Amino acid sequence: MSEQRLFRSIYNIENITVEYIMRNISVKAVNNVSINIRNREALGIVGESGSGKTTLALSLLNLVPSPGKITSGKLIFDGKIDVLSLSDEELRAFRWKQVAMVFQGALNSFNPVLRIGDQMLETIMEHEKVSKQEALERISRLLKLVRLEPNRTMKAFPHELSGGMKQRAMIATALLLNPRVLILDEPTTALDVISQKYILSILSDLKKKLEISMVLLTHDLAICTELVDRIAVMYAGRIVEVAKMEDLFLKPRHPYTMGLLRAVPSVVGDVRKLEPIPGAPPDMFNLPSGCPFHPRCPYAVERCKREEPYLEEASEDHFVACHRWREV
């Protein structure tokens, strides 16, 4: 119980639906998603590519690019800020100050014609009234925190840094305003193995040192193990299971999660026993009826084709959206 209070929720996501509306077709990339991001926790959101992770993350900043639109739901930050009804200026102040995000493929996150230092500096200056000196000191400190050499990095243009260095510079940039929530979208994809390990160790480091909630979006369950407290599993724009990390790994309740776990080398242990999930990822333009996982699910029954399952609490702090969680 005391742990519950410590992990009071900082960002409540309530029934958010995001649609990309194109000329003759629309895709519900995020479908009625509810989840609370808790204070100082590290939340992993895991799902195949195309499951709606990035779209969900962008909606947390109310920054879904056109033709996307948040068509329903509520976003309540810190129990009082209704993010979807902020004015443009309020929204501008909210972004990065409260919720910052390291984008997927941070390789293109910096403006190629401005120096890294200038982009970091303007981020502070656009939000706070501090002296330039103070701002520069803060930038230096954060660059050191992500193990970059401050003077060199600040003077560099983006193309002069390696992929891993850019990623770290972006993490430092995300921390500039000391945000309450830091979203990391596939922070290790597109990096070589050594840079991946390095980023992960920096992130664990940050988690220990800073009072911050982290949301880690990834298609790779394995990288969650080192970092996160809780995991939400996404499938076809829906959250199908949420649980504490150990709980999810030891007692997965959703057939999709089970499938995912059987496909992770470090979890299975023996590479020869790896089993990919049968069937193809869902076609978002043309989702199956009922439970969207039913064509691939070994436990599917008639009901699964007709009725969509919603999240239910299966055990304490462990939610699952499956008609048959009691049996599987």
Partner 1 sequence: MKWIYRRVLLALLSIFFTVVLTFFLIRLMPGNPMDVYVQMLIRSGRARTREEAIERAKSLMPLNMNDPLWKQLIDYLLGILRGDLGRSISSFTPVSEIIVKSLPWTVFVSSMALATSFSIGTILGLVLAYKRGTTFEGFSVAALTIFGAIPNYIMALLLFYLFTIVYPIFPMRGAYSSTVTPGFNLNFILSVLQHALLPIASYVLTDFSGWALGIRAMASTVLGEDYVTVAKARGLRESKIITNYVGRNSILPQFTGLILSIGFMFGGSPLVESIFTYPGIGRFFASAVSARDYPLLQGLFLMLSITVILANLLADLLYTFIDPRVKVGD
Which of 22, 114, 222, 301 touches partner 1 (CB under 8 A)?
Answer: 114
| Residues paired with residue 216 on neighbouring β-strands, in sequence order | 44, 184
Q: Applying CB under 8 A, which part among 98-106, 208-216, 275-283, 296-304 lies near partner 1?
A: 98-106
Which of 31, 51, 123, 167 touches partner 1 (CB under 8 A)?
Answer: 123
Which of 14, 48, 105, 261 touches partner 1 (CB under 8 A)?
Answer: 105
Min separation Cβ 193 and Mg ion, Å = 21
* CA distance from start to end of the chain: 29
Q: What does 159 interact with, of partner 1, ligand SF4, ligand ADP, none (CB < 5 to 8 A by kind)? A: partner 1
Q: Is 97 among the residues that bind partner 1 (CB under 8 A)?
A: yes
Contact 278/260 with Cβ under 8 angstroms? no
In the numeric block, the tokens 């509520």 are attached to 74
Other CB atoms within 10 A of residue 6 CB: 10
Q: What is the DSSP string of 130-184?
A: --HHHHHHHHHHHHHHTT--HHHHHH--GGGS-HHHHHHHHHHHHHTT--SEEEE
Q: What does the DSSP 8-state code read for residue 273?
A: G
Q: Applying CB under 5 A, which part among 50-58, 112-120, 131-139, 237-245 lies near Mg ion?
A: 50-58
Nearest to 168 by CA among 208, 138, 195: 195
Min separation Cβ 8 and partner 1, Å = 25
> Under the rule (CB under 6 A), what is the footprint of ligand ADP?
20, 27, 29, 47, 49-55, 65, 67-68, 284
Contact 177/96 with Cβ under 8 angstroms? yes
Q: Give the binding site for partner 1 (CB under 8 A).
A: 58, 61, 63, 65, 88, 92-97, 100-101, 103, 105, 108-114, 122-123, 126-127, 157, 159, 173
Q: Which residues of this chain interact with Mg ion, rule CB under 5 A?
A: 54, 104
